[in-house]
Amino acid sequence: METFGSAALIGLGFGFLWGIGCSIAIMYSIYLNAYRKAVKDSLKPEPPLRYTKVLEQALAKRAKAAAKAAKAAAAGAAGNVEAPPQ
């Protein structure tokens, strides 16, 4: 019984390590393929439609936040409203 237990633990350890190794290899190959696609997209003369759409949304969100902060700063400088806590 003692021999079976140690063999089972060794087999479990090797199986676990093999599974982890395979998982890491798969994740790495997915990462490399996504990276290659991103490099290919970045070399295109015209950026992809999805990229331009997301970039426009991000810039609009940033401009809206900057306008809100400027408005709050102007109101705080005038002494009308306290600056919001940060």
Q: What is the pLDDT of residues 52-81, one digit of tens each?
A: 899 999 999 999 999 999 988 887 766 655
The number of domains in the chain is: 2
User: In this structure, are 36 and 68 located in the same domain?
Assistant: no
Domain of residue 71, residue span: 46-86
Q: Verify that 70 and 37 share a domain, yes or no.
A: no
Q: Which residue has the higher pLDDT, 42 or 61?
A: 61
Query: Do 3 and 36 lie in a common domain?
Result: yes
Q: Are 41 and 51 a contacting pair, CB within 8 Å?
A: yes
Q: What is the pLDDT of residue 77?
A: 67
Q: Domain check: are 82 and 52 in the same one?
A: yes
Question: Could you tell me if 50 and 37 lie in one domain?
Answer: no
8-state DSSP, 79: T
State whether 50 and 24 are in the same domain: no
Q: CA 14, 17, 23, 25 torsion: positive or negative?
A: negative
The Cα 39–Cα 30 span in angstroms is 14
Which residue do the tokens 């400088």 mark?
Answer: 77
32/55: higher pLDDT: 55
